[in-house]
Chain A
């Protein structure tokens, strides 16, 4: 008791009476001590209040989630095409309407669960889920999200529109493709591709800046998975000055095997960008375009290492057999990767290639013979 009184007295004299007479550094120290103590106490309070709130939130969320996912599972397995979409949805609608959807927590969980289910199913199940989404008028909240001041909320809205194929809002999404925030722009473009039936690839015409690999990856996924997207001939963008657009279109051309683009792709073999040349060679290999082989061989000697390897791999895929002797000669170069690439390309020629490698194995140098053994081993 006595001690605490005297400590209090001491602190009082320290901070009030004696403060002006201390040297600078001591005064500053005293201020810093005060600051640190107050800040620490505040953080303590914050951490524990937050913790209590989170605990309650988690508990409530888990309960609602359980309930909602059970309801959704029931609607998913209930009935099939013969029962008719309307009937199935109407059967369950009253139950869903009883949920307190005015409450943000419940609404968000419901939207999220419907979205996840919808993204996992196609066909009748997906249609039922969409119908439910609309009938519950959840799309109204989606529109609100689009107008939000927070970009991450806007993105949520965009994603819902794309997920549920809400075609009527396509224009709203399109407006966001010029959004100041980069990620919103990207999401809007992606959604637009999914929704627009007439000209989904318009954005490629006036793409500002580079399409990041991440964006390309998502776009590629959307384009190749979406059923209603009209696939244009991507050759018209190969002349684009935007290198990333060219690369992206090459990927798509390869995926859709658009053979009519080959003539343009051959021209790209002279492109100043290494990445584009490499990608072009990859597409040629993927399409197994035999008549371009000669062209590939012509550029080979002057090419960079990466493109050379791609050419060898392309020759292996085309596997016309016309250039086996060239591939064999590649084994004479000192470069390990080239040798390996050439050997793999020979193996790409099927039985013929395999026989050739087996024959070669006994006549080539020890190192080359090791490479051949490596390539011939199916386990590696």
Chain B
């Protein structure tokens, strides 16, 4: 019995401790790469005149796809705001995914729409289309509205892709607030990269408590609601630190469903959005990357650090929990579908780095953390804990996570400083102190719950497609696993 405990202690003392150090080092690395990438991007684009793209006849053409489900309250304004985007060659495709409210009627009335005999090129499968509408009024010539049977977000997007007649696809959530020059900024990588760009993603920010007029962001404020405020910190960390680094390494696995620009040709060739998963945004990027590797084509997936898209975040734990549960299941499904990528040298950085990273840090880490907490409690109840050491280890992880969040705030300040008042920044910085003990444990709980739901076969994602998607389930981002290490440390005591 004593020997068993001794062995147990040794493992946790050394193996897990050093594993944790590796994890921490990887965060520092990501941070470093991200800083490099941000700096290079800011330097390169500081003197760019985006008007050049606006006025050029050779700028790529873009279809904006926005699926809508029960959005009658805001849809007319949202469409108006999308229509005023700065770009010369684009069309807007709104897909009414079998809304049960009056979304379609409102659109028809506001934009003088009438049903047309649109002939759709059925390249991707989706639920039947009930009708396609265009406006009598030629100032709305860019607008196409598809009315179809409900089939979920992927299904709606696939229908939109079939209707699209342009080269690039901008997939957005219809209730997002899109910056007016977003398209110009997202298109630029397609023009300037040496390899073929198959997708670009934009940073998603939290719009709660911001001043919004006619579907446009007028002034940025820190959310009043504490739950949204946690997410602000989380989003800054995930987007500015995580994704920029992955973009530099060309190992980006995910482009948030709230805003992404894709190469239509590749999307169609690899079969469009998948109906099989709740994490369709991540799954599509992985599949597109695979396709490029399988066909020996050089490619790139790029991330733009500019804040291009603002979204309303969940303000209560129930909805937030559901969202995170879904993200976890999406991650599991994507990882499982593409399990043969795991350390597969054929897929270079995708197989050797991105995939394992997601498997170990995004999927496994919260589970380990959960197990860690339970072990800690068990050991404590047996009186086997060295309280001083565990306090020291806990403090280490705690200070490290504060440092990471602080660096993220620094990045934000150095780049776009959206939160202009010093008070807001201070709030953000102070939030870093309570986030690891208040918000983080909850994300762990939701993530584990997602795993349990997935593996016990509680198939609520099956009904998911029929229920459509709700406005609170959107952009996916890397859950902050910065503090995941915590419990591993606790165990080593």
Contact = CB atoms under 8 A, between A and B. Distances in A.
Interface of A: 14, 23, 25-26, 28-30, 32-33, 36-37, 39-40, 43-44, 46-48, 50-51, 54, 152, 155-156, 159, 183, 210, 212-214, 216-218, 220-221, 251, 336-337, 340, 367, 370-371, 373-374, 377, 379-380
Given A47-B410, A380-B116, A30 B121 contact: no
Interface in B126-156: 134-136, 141
B58 A213 contact: yes
B472 interface: no
B121 A377 contact: no
Given A214-B188, A217-B52, A43 B407 contact: yes
B425 A156 contact: no
B14 interface: yes
B117 A25 contact: no
Interface in B378-413: 389, 392-393, 395-396, 399-400, 402-403, 406-407, 409-410, 413
B13 interface: yes
Contacts of A220: 56-58
A54 B46 CA distance: 17
Contact of A221 (B44, B56, B114, B389): B56
Contacts of B135: 379
A214 to B, nearest CB: 4
Contacts of A183: 44
13 contacts: A29-B393, A40-B403, A48-B422, A152-B46, A152-B47, A212-B194, A214-B188, A214-B192, A217-B58, A217-B191, A251-B58, A370-B117, A377-B134
B47 A159 contact: yes
Q: Which of B17, B119, B122 has the most CB of A within 10 A?
A: B119
B102 interface: no
Given A40-B406, A221-B52, A377-B118, 19 more contacts: A25-B13, A25-B17, A43-B407, A47-B429, A48-B422, A54-B417, A183-B44, A210-B194, A212-B194, A217-B52, A217-B53, A217-B58, A217-B59, A220-B56, A220-B58, A370-B119, A374-B117, A377-B116, A379-B134
A51 B21 CA distance: 33
Contacts of A373: 117, 119
Given A47-B410, A212-B192, A220-B56, A26 B399 contact: no
A380 B134 CA distance: 7
A29 B117 CA distance: 69
Contacts of A218: 52
Contacts of A221: 52, 55-56
Given A214-B191, A379-B135, A44 B429 contact: yes
B401 to A, nearest CB: 9
Contacts of B409: 43, 47
Contacts of A217: 52-53, 56, 58-59, 191
A376 to B, nearest CB: 9
A155 B49 CA distance: 13
B492 interface: yes
Interface in B28-45: 43-44
B413 A337 contact: no
A32 B406 contact: no
- Nearest 4 pairs between A and B by C-beta? A36-B399, A374-B119, A214-B191, A214-B192
Nearest to A376: B117
A337 B402 contact: no
Contact of A33 (B57, B59, B122, B399): B399
Nearest to A371: B119
B406 A374 contact: no
Nearest to A23: B13
Contacts of A50: 413-414
A379 B47 CA distance: 40
A183 B48 CA distance: 11
A45 B160 CA distance: 50
Contacts of A43: 403, 406-407, 409-410
B400 A155 contact: no
Contacts of A37: 399
Interface string B59-73: 100000000000000
A114 to B, nearest CB: 16
A59 B225 CA distance: 31
A379 B410 CA distance: 51
Nearest to A41: B406
Contacts of B141: 379
Given A50-B413, A152-B43, A373-B119, A39 B403 contact: yes
B403 A36 contact: yes
Contacts of A380: 116, 118, 134
Nearest to A225: B55
Nearest to B265: A306
Contacts of B403: 36, 39-40, 43
Given A25-B17, A43-B406, A47-B410, A213 B192 contact: yes
A26 to B, nearest CB: 6
Contact of A336 (B121, B134, B414, B489): B121
Q: Which of A33, A37, A251, A340 has the most CB of B within 10 A?
A: A33
Contact of A30 (B13, B14, B392, B489): B392
Contacts of A152: 43, 46-47
Interface in B256-272: none
Q: Which of A29, A183, A212 has the most CB of B within 10 A?
A: A29
Nearest to A30: B392
Contact of A340 (B17, B56, B121): B121
A25 B14 contact: yes
A366 B270 CA distance: 29
Contacts of B194: 210, 212
